[in-house]
Structure 1
Amino acid sequence: MQIPFRDSVLVRNPNLRRLVFGRLVTNAGDSVYAIAAMWLVYDLTGSSAYTGLAGLLTMGPQALQVFVGPLVDRWPLRRILVGTQVVQAVLVLVIPAAFLLDALSVWVVLTVMPVVSLLNQFVYPAQNAALPRIVEQEDLVSANSLLSLAYQGVDMAFNALAGVLVAVVGAVTLYLVDSVTFVVAAILFLGLRVPASRGASSSETEESEGGDSVGSDSETGERTAAVADGGADSSYLADLRAGLSFVRGTILLPLLVTSVVANGTLGGVWATMPAFADARGGPETYGVLMAAIAGGMLVGALVASRFEDYPLGRLTVTLYALSGSLWLAAVWSSSLPSTAALLALALVPVGISNVIVVTMFQTLVPDDLLGRVMAAIGSISTVAMPLGSAAGGVVADATSATYVVAGGGLGLLFVAVYIAAIPSLRRLPRTEELETLQRASAE
């Protein structure tokens, strides 16, 4: 099995190139923005409780993805991707404008962050819904690896760069960089062509480079909801119920328990990492540690296709047991190089698992339900993250940021223990056998 960059799918599929490069550019800006925003909050207040609040406000909108899903399935996907980038490009300019007007405060930053995050909740379900429409089934693992590679590879480089730039030019200047990247991403997404879903009628047209589809996304979502609800009206609420009902009726729901617990502890990590890094050096250290985390995810995404032939249940137990152990070793290491190296190694298994599991979701879910279901999964899996962020910030101020960061390792170990203890999860088969699993779930 070849690694993604050696796979020809990116070369022969121009739509995938636009999607991947669009994600790459916008994530470059997001990586810089994430480091700048969290450090700016910490710099303005000196408190982990405030960075925890920033995490709560930033990650809280992720729990609203379930309400976004029906809209993603109804609206043209290209319009969603382009429109969100344009609006975000304008919003992030509020911070440098406030700075120039001598009106910048932590509350201005905390107001902008959740609005930008809310817009992002449309982007990732739309990208996940578009991917199975623009690549063949046999290319899904490689395509998902490429998207993860674009995400994590950019994070690795720009997290480290952002830490240096914060120290050199200040966090406010980086918001200008982020605005430019949103504009570039919008231009790339403008050329994206998303075919109608495979469940749509032959009369539906595609979203072309020169115009929008004639009712493809909207009509497909409406018809799917009507079928899912046994002929009931295809309202927004019916679409919403269809996505949630699908999750309830498959193995996806018990699997999401692992995400809720792990993300709750990792939310605390996100909130307290500025203080954890400050005790070890400052913004440069923050950038290095966040780059190490992204670098590990990058390597995992890069090699994920080599693991698609392993049974998912046993593979996930092994990966997360290794990840949690390495994470705890990193936290208690006494030197920055060893901490960064161990954090990177700890995230390699997570990067592998993420790609394989997303592919599983896309295999199990029909195309015309994919936006709703992926949004529901996103909401359920991240609901604990903002709460963990707020709690982690308070706990770090009361005790130590080190203890909260160590909790991230315990969350990863929980995933391994939970899946090992649940027979239906432990026995999950290989990705190529998931069509059989879908039929069994339906029965």
Structure 2
Amino acid sequence: MLKNQNFKYLWLGRLVSNAGDSIYYMVLSWYILQITKDSFWVGLINFAIFIPNVFSFVFGHWIDRGRKKKALMLLETGQLVSVAMMALTIGLGVTSPILLAILAFLAASFGMNTYAIQDALMPKIVARKDLPSAQRYMSFAYNGTEYLFNAVTGFLIQLFSTVTLLLMNVVSFIGAIVSFWKLEDVEKKESLKQEDEGSFKTNLFKGFSEIWRNRAILLIVSCGGLANFLFGGLNVYQVLIADEQGSAIILGLLTSSMAIGTLIGSTVGAALFARFMSLGKTLTLATSLYGVCIVISGFYAHSVGIIVGLGIANLFLGITHVVQKPFFQVLVPEKHLGKVFTAAASSGVAALPAGSLFFGIFSDYISSSYFLYLFGAIYLMIGIIYWKNKAIFQFHL
């Protein structure tokens, strides 16, 4: 894939940009906790970073109508300026958590649609048959750097000052801008003046209507929203599982195990499955096997066996991450990809905090084991839904 120069620069840009994202999220949360000694401000920072994604769909029309190379460079520049202002603010000794929350909101607002733009650009620079392979590389750029830097940031915080680490982020954004700048502007060769599709106002919810119109895409997005609701609950229960076992080390091992499983699944696992079956059958089987493994993990929720169980389960989760995107890139008209990707992101993101809130309230009544049984059973049901839908199960490139 890296012989394709456009894809290489797109992938490298995402790789270094994600490294920057991963560092500043954690560094800022840690810094806020140190200066305020109040977890409320940590929650506020995370809210400020999360909330822009709910409104991702608003920008879908502009993504489809504009030049995606320029959009990527503009958004990376916005992130660069926002993080540079954080470094300047802290360097000058201004310890205002409100100001830092505002800057975090700005950085997240610029960064929220970079994934959608890249996914919408992919069919223009990669042959249809190579989309799954391209997605494996992008999944490593998305997940690999995040897991790696989440793991090492704790050590970096001990070695470097907050300002130094934020300036490292600025350098990573500069690297991403340079990489995106080297992309060939493929859209110059096409007419960006497609038939008049109406104003921004009439296209505001076009992504949702396109999802509704395509039954296969609607099922994937709907099931993805349900899955995110459950993952919101899993964020709560993994802390409870560690607490039940009386050690924060269990929490670290759980998150590391799941991260490693997802990374292996999205690279080696996805490539292995691609040799033997179509994308539709891979999505169906991987989804079902993830559900089965989660159910089995429920039997070990009160022992260290849960670490191995969730790690194995996430091998199959990583595979589903890779094979879902080509469904959108093939079944959705290219002129609507930006709208659909942003609408899907808005729908999915909103379910995460809802799940965390719901299971946070009812965790006193639902044990860790029963939550995992429920989680796995619902995922298995999603696999059956995919199997019953011919457009999904029989999908291939």
TM range (shorter): 0.7 to 0.9
Residues 288, 383 of structure 2: 8 Å contact kept: no
Select between 79-88 and 32-41 the one with higher mean Cα deviation: 32-41
The structure 2 residue matched to 1:10, chosen from 2, 18, 21, is: 2
- TM-superposed deviation, 1:258: 2.2
Q: Note the alpha carbon deviations across 1:161-198, whole angstroms, 9 max, x for none.
A: 112223443555432221211111011000112423xx
Corresponding letter in the other structure for 2:2? L
Residue aligned with 1:93, SS:
helix
- TM-superposed deviation, 1:84: 1.0
Partner of 1:382 in structure 2?
349
Partner of 1:429 in structure 2?
393
Select between 304-313 and 152-161 the one with higher mean Cα deviation: 304-313
Could you tell me how far apart the structure 1 residues matched to 2:65 and 2:73 are? 16
1:345 matched to 2:344: no
Number of residue equivalences:
389
Could you tell me how far apart the structure 1 residues matched to 2:369 and 2:100 are? 24
Could you tell me how far apart the structure 2 residues matched to 1:408 and 1:177 are? 39
Alignment of 1:16-415 (within 5 A): 16-43=7-34, 51-169=42-160, 173-196=164-187, 205-206=188-189, 216-217=191-192, 219-220=193-194, 223=195, 226=197, 234-251=198-215, 252-267=217-232, 280-281=247-248, 290-302=255-267, 303-308=269-274, 309-310=277-278, 311-312=281-282, 314-325=284-295, 328=298, 332-334=302-304, 341-388=308-355, 410-411=374-375, 413-415=377-379
Corresponding letter in the other structure for 1:321? G
Residues 301, 368 of structure 2: 8 Å contact kept: no
Q: Note the alpha carbon deviations across 1:117-154, whole angstroms, 9 max, x for none.
A: 22122201110011110010110100111100122221
Could you tell me how far apart the structure 2 residues matched to 1:149 and 1:306 are? 16
Corresponding letter in the other structure for 1:301? S
Could you tell me how far apart the structure 2 residues matched to 1:48 and 1:346 are? 32
Residues 79, 110 of structure 2: 8 Å contact kept: yes
Residues 328, 406 of structure 1: 8 Å contact kept: yes
Q: Note the alpha carbon deviations across 1:291-339, whole angstroms, 9 max, x for none.
A: 44332222111131333425256314423314534665786444xxx66
Residues 52, 390 of structure 1: 8 Å contact kept: no
CA 1:295 to 1:52, structure 2 compared with 1: closer, same or farther past 3 Å? Answer: same
Residues 82, 186 of structure 1: 8 Å contact kept: yes
Residues 56, 385 of structure 1: 8 Å contact kept: no
Instruction: List alignment gaps of at least 5 residues for structure 2.
Output: none
Could you tell me how far apart the structure 2 residues matched to 1:390 and 1:281 are? 22
Could you tell me how far apart the structure 2 residues matched to 1:405 and 1:179 are? 43
- TM-superposed deviation, 1:46: 6.0
- TM-superposed deviation, 1:432: 1.1
Residues 161, 287 of structure 1: 8 Å contact kept: no
Residues 73, 370 of structure 1: 8 Å contact kept: yes
Could you tell me how far apart the structure 2 residues matched to 1:399 and 1:27 are? 37
Could you tell me how far apart the structure 1 residues matched to 2:205 and 2:135 are? 27
Corresponding letter in the other structure for 1:248? W
Residues 247, 253 of structure 1: 8 Å contact kept: yes
Residues 264, 386 of structure 1: 8 Å contact kept: yes
Residues 207, 340 of structure 2: 8 Å contact kept: yes
The percent of aligned pairs where both chains have the same amino acid is: 26
Residue aligned with 1:428, SS:
helix
- TM-superposed deviation, 1:240: 3.1
Partner of 1:5 in structure 2?
none
CA 1:24 to 1:240, structure 2 compared with 1: closer, same or farther past 3 Å? Answer: same
- TM-superposed deviation, 1:236: 1.2
Could you tell me how far apart the structure 2 residues matched to 1:369 and 1:313 are? 23
CA 1:59 to 1:268, structure 2 compared with 1: closer, same or farther past 3 Å? Answer: farther
- TM-superposed deviation, 1:39: 3.8
- TM-superposed deviation, 1:34: 2.8
Residue aligned with 2:154, SS:
helix
Corresponding letter in the other structure for 2:294? G
Residues 91, 163 of structure 2: 8 Å contact kept: no
Residues 134, 194 of structure 1: 8 Å contact kept: no
